[in-house]
Amino acid sequence: MIIAVKHKINNPESFWASAQQHLPNLPEMGVSRVLQVMPNANMTEATCVWEAESIEQLDTYLRDKVKDWSHDEYHEINMANASGLTV
């Protein structure tokens, strides 16, 4: 499943340090990979595109890695109607 996540980041330093530490270890915990990471200029928001077994598994993975350093909104990508996304 391809999932978009909008992160509102309240602790950018810790959030991004954790991302750099843990992303190279994928796949794990039902999360295959991150396809895109698109932060804003001051690194307090980001939209990321993930491949994972489910939104629940991705949320469990993220909570373990980035704690409460972000508030996240998830939605499954409708791949039949998406454009510009290569998986």
pLDDT at 50: 97
| CB contact at 8 A, 70 and 16 | no
One digit per residue, the tens of pLDDT, for the chain of length 87 reads 999 999 999 999 999 999 999 999 999 989 999 999 999 999 999 999 999 999 999 999 999 999 999 999 999 998 888 887 777
- Give me the domains of the chain, ranges plus CATH numbers: 2-76 (3.30.70.100)
Specify the pTM.
Answer: 0.90
First vs last C-alpha separation in the chain: 10
| CB contact at 8 A, 62 and 46 | no
Name 28's bridge partners: 31
